[in-house]
Amino acid sequence: MRRVLLVGGGHAHAWVIREGVAGEVTLVTPYPHHTYSGMLPGYVAGHYAAAEIRIDVAALCARAGVELVLGRVAVLDADKRIARLESGAEIAYDTASLDVGATSNAPDGALPAKPFEPFMARWEEVREGLRCVAVVGSGAAGVEMAMAIAHRTRARVVLYSDRPMFRAGLATRIARQLGRNGVELRNAAYAGESADLVVWTAGAHALPWLRASGLAVDERGFVLVDDRLRSVSHPEVLAAGDCATLRSAPHPKSGVYAVRHAPVLAANLRGEARRYAPQRRALALLSCGARYAIADWGGLSWEGAWVWRWKDRIDRRWVESFRP
């Protein structure tokens, strides 16, 4: 029987397992659940409990007859078709699929927002005594986390953003909401200023073992894939989500795209030949501390409590679609 190895329990693999894959299927991932990033700022702000933002990957595997191995791949030898785990165990495969996301380059002493599990544990330990928090990152994650922390705590929150990431109209809305939440915006790199907690949301870096695997990678070390999400050098390896770069049309690393990869990956792992075409416009929904959000699509933006309710419905529906 074909041996299929799924590495990483991210968005796309949760979908793949729910839909079913033929063969002897093994998933290697460090945690028995997948935390949905779109709802993490809502968790930090106190709107959601941890259980509400998690997909139970272990239960999905049990239902689908997929063997779950809790651990991390440390080495992938794409020529020999073997993965070695941090535990030293080796798993041989005929087909592999990678959905391992990206990592950050947080300096010592900072708390990276990813992986989410250690972040959530540390957040619960420290959040009550915080007086000053630095949030580092120029993108949506930094903005949302800064407002969520300001909403939940009495701490002074400073957001460090060293480059403009939003177009003019949207940036104005975001700046107004940061101000309303009492977040101080510093248009500068974080240079070690003192804070009780430094939350790091900046940067999406490839896991180092991808570059060492023998798979063709882009200049940042992400796996280069064709429009069927197959490695351009080793077609028996597929990759989706943040760890993959579409050779014909690279697009931003974000959950919106990772979610869209999922049905294409699932179909191609079943042996179909489905092609992925990135959407030209992606809807961005940014939560703003309280139950209030900003929507951005195709150069237009809106905001209000109704946008938060809309986002809440979309996010809950996504997570609930994985419950039995």
Ligand X SMILES: Cc1cc2nc3c(=O)[nH]c(=O)nc-3n(C[C@H](O)[C@H](O)[C@H](O)COP(=O)(O)OP(=O)(O)OC[C@H]3O[C@@H](n4cnc5c(N)ncnc54)[C@H](O)[C@@H]3O)c2cc1C
**Nearest to ligand X by Cβ — which residue?**
241
In the complex, minimum distance from the CB of residue 6 to ligand X, in angstroms, rounded to a whole number: 9
Closer residue to ligand X, CB minimum distance, 15 or 155: 15
In the complex, minimum distance from the CB of residue 179 to ligand X, in angstroms, rounded to a whole number: 21
Closer residue to ligand X, CB minimum distance, 155 or 206: 206
Closer residue to ligand X, CB minimum distance, 116 or 234: 116
In the complex, minimum distance from the CB of residue 119 to ligand X, in angstroms, rounded to a whole number: 8
Q: Is 316 helix (H, G, I), strand (E, B) or coil?
A: helix
Using only C-alpha atoms, what is the Rg of the chain? 20
d(CA 314, CA 1): 38
In the complex, minimum distance from the CB of residue 235 to ligand X, in angstroms, rounded to a whole number: 20
In the complex, minimum distance from the CB of residue 188 to ligand X, in angstroms, rounded to a whole number: 21
**How far is residue 42 from each of residues 148, 152, 188, measured CA to CA in Å?**
7, 10, 26
Burial of 163 (0-12, 13-18, 19+ CB in 10 A): exposed
- Token readout for 313 is 């419905």
SS (H, E, C) 47-113: CCCHHHHEECHHHHHHHHCCEEEECCEEEEECCCCEEEECCCCEEECCEEEECCCCECCCCCCCEEC
5 φ, ψ to 5°?
-110, 120
Closer residue to ligand X, CB minimum distance, 101 or 289: 101
In the complex, minimum distance from the CB of residue 69 to ligand X, in angstroms, rounded to a whole number: 9
Q: Residue with structure tokens 């997948």?
A: 34
Q: Is 19 helix (H, G, I), strand (E, B) or coil?
A: helix
d(CA 237, CA 8): 14
Closer residue to ligand X, CB minimum distance, 97 or 234: 97
Closer residue to ligand X, CB minimum distance, 80 or 194: 80
Residues of the shown chain interacting with ligand X in the complex, contacts defined by CB under 6 A:
7-12, 28-31, 34, 37-38, 40, 72-73, 99-101, 113-115, 141, 145, 201, 207, 241-243, 253-256, 258
